[in-house]
Structure 1
Amino acid sequence: MGKILTRFEHDYIAVKIEQEKEKDLGGGIKVGTTSTNTPFKVATVLQCSEEAEKKYKEGDTLLIKPSRADSEREFNGTTFSLIKMDDVIALV
């Protein structure tokens, strides 16, 4: 895939948005809607900046704020969205 993030993007994560509805965590537990019924976004980590690598790794599944990662980009045939570490709600 190549290096998506530059050294200036110190707290960013390149993710692929998987779905915008709900995520089944197993055991009957489903997450994905806030109290206002706005869906969280479920994303898979493609690449982390050095700072983000302290908490996340490639392949991790994240719940992110619904208003984030609205714009998709493409690099070497890979479609991704950039989010900041502050946009992560939970690692699932």
Structure 2
Amino acid sequence: MRIAHTVEVLNLIDENNMINLLKYIIYFCEVVDRHLPFLESQSDVPPDMKEIIASLCYIASRYGELPDLGKLLSQFSRKYGTEFITNAAKLKPDCGVKEQ
């Protein structure tokens, strides 16, 4: 019985983590959407948007089961280059992703 309860708790933690992750994704996408005209006019990632865009790239690289994020990752890759995407995906120093 104890193992079954432990598994249930771990499943709840996983579900809660996924819900929190989805909340971050929604928030980040809303910010990108609000700033889209500005982002389109810039050739480089604006410093005030770097964390959000890099975080979306990091998340997209980890969760292939979210195909829309994959599409967004492709668009960011075309816009900002594969090096930016790779750095975010690998959490390289100064990539923009905050560790949490």
The structure with the largest strand share of the pair is 1
The structure with the largest helix share of the pair is 2
TM-score calculated relative to the size of structure 1: 0.24
Relative CO higher for 1 or 2, CA cutoff 8 Å, sep ≥ 6?
A: 1
TM-score calculated relative to the size of structure 2: 0.23
